[in-house]
């Protein structure tokens, strides 16, 4: 199972997670959007 996020969500959380680009896709009711699969959380060690 994958979580799909749009460009604006990707921009907000891109520093905390690893993503795989899905490319530009047609989204019903929104038109063409750049989409990304959320792959995993980036583990930060202090």
pTM of the model: 0.83
Residue 45 pLDDT? 75
Alpha carbon separation from 25 to 15, 17, 20 (Å, rounded) = 23, 21, 14
CA dihedral sign of residues 45, 11, 5, 22:
negative
Residues of the chain predicted below pLDDT 70: none
Q: Determine the pLDDT at residue 21.
A: 95
pLDDT recorded at residue 33: 97
Per the DSSP assignment, residues forming a β-bridge with 31 are 27
Domain boundaries along the sequence of the chain: 3-40
């Amino acid at each position: 199972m994958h979580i799909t996020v749009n460009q604006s969500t990707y921009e907000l959380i891109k520093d905390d997670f690893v993503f795989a680009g899905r490319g530009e896709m047609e989204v019903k009711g929104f038109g063409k959007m750049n989409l990304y699969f959320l792959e995993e959380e980036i583990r930060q060690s202090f």
